[in-house]
């Protein structure tokens, strides 16, 4: 067995990256597939620590500069190549994304994407906005780990000498990391802080490091007693079953995942690794199958390319109504780009570093692939296809609301014959002063709803969901009175937990509250609407405005994304909101 190469780990990488890709294609297919990232973290912690320990044992030192240089030439060139192609695609076909993607790109180049997304308030699971570089948050955490960990390990070797003492230090710090995640977890709020945080994710990286201290693959001997092999087989099988089962069982809404669950999953993953790296186990032989090791070798490039391809492909279709062939094309493109990136970028830079640019053959190959990609994305067929579903013709207009937050109103060009002006259709104006809190769909109807309720207070913001609305509701405590009317349109941008809905409803427990059901082409649509009906039955002051039912079968109500409203949809929405409010308050 090559001491520098452990094929079993490539097999584990294959399982992890397959889980992640399936999850990003459709979370419903593998709801816990996002946990594959933690498998990568543990493997990285194990491998890096193994290499550093081996170097220290040989030289009584660790060459930090050499280590960092190897990491940079291994990881950075493929990222730069991927970002270059993504940016070119966006410039050609989806310029509306360029402003946001540029900011994400700068964060990615500095390897601080995870903290940028926390600062930006991005929800990894519930954002409808296409962010093709969002997956680079995990690479940012790994690079931050690579930056400080070798120095810390070297200092610990100098201070403690014994690996057992270093193991205890890592154990304590990993438990602290787990505790931080547990303490910061609040089901009524976004999990972005704990999901993206380096401090909360350190636990799994250190678990891998701990295993390297007690189970270094390069020291494992062949042909141990059969009883030992069987014990390793059994614990490895238990770990593998637990890991794969977790991919199917858990979701981002599973509180246990963030309350010690990742740590427990990490421990079972360590058992899986123990069996995977041992040269005499059946598990190692299974994970060394050519198909798995091939996927494992390409796993980094597959991870880099799959997400932007999936996001950009799916952005031209209504979410929840994506044809099967789009998934197939996404997988094929991912494999093609991963292979090209691995062969022309990753491998040459890993072997030659900056000398790659001097190598004439490599340089010619690099230029050839760039030109080929330009030709690919420039074909008239693709231009026609993308234009058909692109929102590029939309205008972005800033409108002032009565709330503190300005809203971004998306107005699509209208092509409707024989439709009178809105002002001629308003048959009655009401003196009521409702509070409406919602997302960009609420922003769509802002102008028209004010014609019916001139005294309305409207607070709409793009991307808002229930947990983001909770602090907004705190600004409107004066609406928690018996004669107040509160309308909540918060089901578009993600599912919610009971505690989140209970929290916001309690803030208006004296008012008449109206929940607007969602029409959103996402898997969580049915659950969101069912929960709204359940809460309306639970509380006497809570009522339903069934936009889902009213809009059924009316594709003309919606913009191409299936969510935002065209003029007929705005009229229908204002009518149903008005009718339900009047029905309740004037009965």
User: How far apart (Å, rounded) are the C-alpha atoms in residues 64 and 52?
Assistant: 10
Q: End-to-end CA distance of the chain: give it in Å, rounded.
A: 81
User: How far apart (Å, rounded) are the C-alpha atoms in residues 347 and 357?
Assistant: 13
Structure tokens belonging to residue 287: 């994970």
| Alpha-carbon distances of 25 from 308, 355, 525, rounded to whole Å | 11, 37, 18
Per DSSP bridges, beta strands 485-489 and 435-438 are: parallel
Residue 276 bears catalytic tag: no
3-state secondary structure labels for all residues of 10-74: HHHHHHHHHHHHHHHHCCCCCCCHHHHHHHHHHHHHHHHHHHHHHHHHHHCCCCHHHHHHHHHHH
**184 with 216: CB under 8 angstroms?**
no
Residue 564 bears catalytic tag: yes
User: Within a 10 A sphere around the Cβ of 579, how many other Cβ atoms?
Assistant: 12
The strand pairing partners of 516, in sequence order, are 545
The strand pairing partners of 410, in sequence order, are 396
User: Within a 10 A sphere around the Cβ of 586, how many other Cβ atoms?
Assistant: 8
Judge residue 497's burial from the number of C-beta atoms within 10 Å of its C-beta, 0-12 exposed, 13-18 middle, 19 or more buried: middle
Structure tokens belonging to residue 476: 């409107």
The full length of the chain comes to 587
User: How far apart (Å, rounded) are the C-alpha atoms in residues 352 and 339?
Assistant: 19
Looking at 315, 362, 440, 536, which residue is catalytic? 440
Looking at 135, 278, 306, 564, which residue is catalytic? 564
Residue 561 bears catalytic tag: yes
The strand pairing partners of 487, in sequence order, are 436, 514
Structure tokens belonging to residue 318: 């209504």
Looking at 10, 104, 123, 561, which residue is catalytic? 561
Q: Is 314 helix (H, G, I), strand (E, B) or coil?
A: helix
Residues with catalytic annotation?
440, 561, 564
């Amino acid at each position: 067995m090559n001491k520098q190469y452990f094929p079993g780990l490539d097999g584990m990488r294959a399982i992890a990256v397959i889980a992640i890709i399936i999850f990003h294609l459709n979370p419903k297919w593998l709801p816990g597939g996002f946990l594959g990232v933690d498998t990568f973290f543990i493997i990285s912690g194990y491998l890096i620590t193994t290499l550093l320990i081996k170097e220290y044992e040989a030289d009584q030192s660790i060459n930090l500069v050499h280590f960092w240089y190897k990491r940079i030439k291994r990881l950075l060139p493929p990222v730069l190549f991927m970002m270059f192609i993504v940016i070119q695609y966006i410039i050609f076909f989806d310029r509306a994304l360029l402003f946001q993607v540029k900011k994400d790109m700068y964060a990615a180049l500095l390897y601080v994407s995870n903290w940028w997304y926390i600062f930006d308030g991005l929800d990894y699971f519930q954002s409808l906005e296409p962010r093709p570089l969002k997956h680079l948050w995990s690479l940012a955490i790994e690079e931050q780990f690579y930056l400080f960990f070798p120095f810390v390990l070297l200092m610990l070797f100098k201070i403690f000498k014994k690996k057992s003492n270093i193991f205890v230090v890592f154990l304590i710090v990993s438990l602290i990391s787990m505790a931080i995640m547990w303490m910061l977890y609040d089901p009524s709020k976004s999990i972005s802080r704990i999901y993206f945080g380096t401090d909360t994710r350190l636990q799994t990286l250190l678990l891998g490091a701990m295993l390297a201290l007690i189970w270094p693959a390069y020291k494992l001997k062949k042909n141990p007693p059969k009883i030992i092999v069987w014990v390793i087989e059994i614990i490895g099988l238990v770990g593998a079953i637990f890991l794969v089962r977790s991919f199917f069982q858990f979701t981002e809404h599973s509180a246990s995942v963030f309350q010690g669950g990742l740590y427990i999953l990490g421990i079972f993953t360590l058992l899986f690794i123990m069996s995977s790296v041992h040269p005499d186990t059946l598990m190692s032989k299974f994970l060394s199958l050519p198909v798995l090791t091939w996927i494992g070798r390409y796993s980094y490039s597959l991870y880099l390319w799959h997400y932007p391809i999936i996001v950009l492909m799916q952005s031209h279709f209504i979410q929840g109504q994506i044809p099967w062939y789009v998934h197939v094309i996404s997988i094929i493109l991912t494999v093609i780009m991963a292979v090209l990136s691995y062969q022309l970028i990753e491998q040459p830079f890993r072997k030659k570093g900056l000398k790659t640019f001097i190598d004439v053959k490599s340089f010619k190959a690099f230029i050839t692939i760039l030109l080929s990609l330009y030709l690919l994305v420039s074909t008239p067929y693709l231009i026609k296809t993308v234009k058909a579903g692109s929102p590029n013709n939309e205008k972005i207009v800033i409108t002032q609301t009565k709330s503190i937050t300005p809203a971004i109103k998306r107005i699509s060009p209208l092509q409707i014959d024989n439709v009178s002006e809105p002002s001629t259709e308003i048959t009655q104006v009401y003196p009521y002063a409702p509070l409406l809190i919602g997302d960009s769909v609420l922003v769509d109807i802002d102008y028209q709803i004010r014609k019916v309720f001139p005294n309305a207070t409207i607070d709409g913001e793009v991307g808002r969901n229930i947990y983001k609305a909770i602090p907004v509701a705190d600004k409107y405590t004066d609406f928690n009175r018996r004669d107040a009317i509160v309308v909540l349109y918060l089901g578009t941008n993600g599912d919610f937990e009971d505690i989140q809905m209970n929290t916001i409803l309690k803030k208006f427990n004296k008012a008449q509250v109206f929940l607007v059901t969602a029409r959103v082409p996402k898997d969580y649509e049915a659950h969101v609407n069912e929960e709204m009906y359940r809460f309306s039955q639970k509380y006497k002051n809570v009522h339903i405005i069934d936009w889902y039912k009213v809009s059924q079968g009316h594709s003309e109500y919606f913009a191409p994304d299936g969510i935002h409203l065209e003029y007929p949809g705005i009229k229908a929405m204002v009518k149903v909101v008005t009718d339900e409010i009047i029905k309740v308050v004037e009965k």
